[in-house]
Structure 1
Amino acid sequence: MARSDRLLRLLQALRTLPHPVTAVRLAEETGVSVRTIYRDIDGLRAAGATIDGATGLGYHLVEDMALPPQTFSRVEIEALVLGLEEVKHVGDPKLARAAEAVFAKITATLPERLQLHAIHAVNGIYRPTAPAAPSLDMAALRSACWQEDVLAIRYTDEKGQTTDREIWPLSILYLENALILIAKCCRRKAFRRFRIDRIKDFSPTGHSFRPHRVALLREFVSQAQAEERRPSDTKSR
């Protein structure tokens, strides 16, 4: 591992782990030896990071030289914390870990007074039960949207009929009781909302629809807004 990558990984561990964090714990988190941790702590200090602590006592990242200072109002901090807590609840494991990392990066750039606001936020998210984890690889599905990869999917509709389709994946919507994949169906030549729990499997076809995703999303939003404005009796036809 390159030294620069190692130092970035150590910084992230110092941001995210409860402090004071021991060199042994940092070594476990970053996959290096304790001796390397001691050297890298010295290296981070020399580069401008303020790290309290010493051998045997544990370490605390006081000031992070890798991130610029941030200024948020208290209500903005509450909004950030609430949003990230929601992601940790409804997101798949990778999204949940990303939300934790974002929180750590943000709080690392705040003055101490605002760090306390973030850690002890007034607002919070509580759900007695966690949502069912998707059976699909959500990271791969998000990547297909970003990369604009044409996907082959096997989908079971509400009547129980299973079909094979090719789609252009555009966006993932988190509804209260379901995850929805917004896509352009190649067979229907139209936008479709696919419930992700009904997608049995998917795979890249090797084709791309780049660079149409952003324009298609705008078109989808425009159509959805037009449907919402349409009188209810017209919608039901």
Structure 2
Amino acid sequence: MARQDRLMRLLAALRRLPSPVTARRLAAETEISERQLYRDIATLRAGGVLIDGAAGYGYTLTEDPALPPQSFSRLETEALMLAVGSLEELGDERLAKAGRDAMARIIATLPDRQARQSMHAIMRSWRMPAERPQIAVDVDLLRQACWDEMSVTITYRDRQERVTQREILPLGLSYSPTTLMLVGWCLLREDYRSFEVARMERLDLGTVSFRPRRAEMLRRYKTLRMAEWEAQKAAEREAAGRAAT
């Protein structure tokens, strides 16, 4: 792991974990040895980061010059905590951890009073745990392909148990309590398609770049779906009107 990445991960862990946090816990969180951790703590201190504590006791991040001061209203802080907390319900641990790290970074920039408020937020997101299908492919690779605007090839088993191989231009991911969907442009069908990620049996990075068309293609998809939804609602209202007469 590159030195800069190690130091960033260590700072994120110090912001996120309850203080004081032991060297053993920090080493496990950042996936380095304790010996390397002590060296990285010394490097951060030399760079101006104020870290209290010592080996055998634990460490506390008391001042982080890498982050500018921030200020949020109590309701804004509650909204952020609610949004990050809801990520836990998606079943995507990497995404949930990224949210926790981001929130810890925000809290580290708040004045003491606002930081304490964030630790005792009154609003929480909680739902009955849903039965989510197991995902066999690498969701991180799928996210990266969306960001990089590169095609992916998939082996897909549909609900009729038919298996096809397709190359797709991935446009975005849609999370729900029960499933994860990929919206994309299917090069086989030459049309927009939605795919349940849990039904993908294999996923590989493709060779087709569609930069910088992703945002425009996604806007067009949303426009088409909204038009379909409006047409459906209009038909339902018309049918209801006929039934009433």
Which TM bucket (shorter chain)?
Answer: 0.7 to 0.9
Aligned counterparts of 1:41 and 1:5: Cα–Cα separation in 2: 14
Structure 1 segment 13-32 matched on structure 2, within 5 A? 13-30=13-30, 31-32=32-33
1:6 Cα shift?
4.2
Aligned counterparts of 1:211 and 1:149: Cα–Cα separation in 2: 10
Matched, 1:67 2:56: no
Question: Aligned in 2, Cα 1:212/1:22: closer, same or farther, shift over 3 Å?
Answer: same
Structure 1 segment 97-136 matched on structure 2, within 5 A? 97-129=97-129, 131-132=131-132, 133-136=134-137
Question: Aligned in 2, Cα 1:98/1:188: closer, same or farther, shift over 3 Å?
Answer: same
Which residue does 1:176 correspond to in 2?
177
1:98 Cα shift?
1.0
Q: Give the CA RMSD over aligned residues.
A: 2.5
Q: Deviations over 1:145-198 (max 9, x none)?
A: 112222222222233322222211110001232211100111222111112222
More displaced, 207-216 or 51-60? 51-60
More displaced, 92-101 or 50-59? 50-59
C-alpha contact (below 8 Å) 2:90/2:177 kept by paired residues: no
Extract unaligned runs of 5+ from structure 1. Answer: none
1:44 Cα shift?
3.2
Which residue does 1:201 correspond to in 2?
202
Aligned counterparts of 2:233 and 2:105: Cα–Cα separation in 1: 46
1:46 Cα shift?
4.5
Aligned counterparts of 1:179 and 1:144: Cα–Cα separation in 2: 16
1:200 Cα shift?
2.2
Q: Percent identity among equivalent residues?
A: 44
C-alpha contact (below 8 Å) 1:154/1:163 kept by paired residues: yes
Which residue does 2:241 correspond to in 1?
none
Aligned counterparts of 1:154 and 1:194: Cα–Cα separation in 2: 11
What is the letter of the counterpart of residue 89 of structure 1? E
Structure 1 segment 1-237 matched on structure 2, within 5 A? 4-30=4-30, 31-34=32-35, 37=38, 40-54=40-54, 56-129=56-129, 131-132=131-132, 133-232=134-233
1:234 Cα shift?
5.2
Where 1:230 maps in the other structure, the secondary structure is helix
Extract unaligned runs of 5+ from structure 2. Answer: 237-245
C-alpha contact (below 8 Å) 1:152/1:203 kept by paired residues: yes
Question: Aligned in 2, Cα 1:127/1:232: closer, same or farther, shift over 3 Å?
Answer: closer
Q: Deviations over 1:64-91 (max 9, x none)?
A: 1111111111111111111111112204
C-alpha contact (below 8 Å) 1:15/1:104 kept by paired residues: yes
Question: Aligned in 2, Cα 1:7/1:225: closer, same or farther, shift over 3 Å?
Answer: same
TM-score in terms of structure 1 length? 0.86
Aligned counterparts of 1:4 and 1:151: Cα–Cα separation in 2: 30
More displaced, 23-32 or 76-85? 23-32
What is the letter of the counterpart of residue 112 of structure 1? D
Count of paired positions: 234
Aligned counterparts of 1:45 and 1:103: Cα–Cα separation in 2: 23
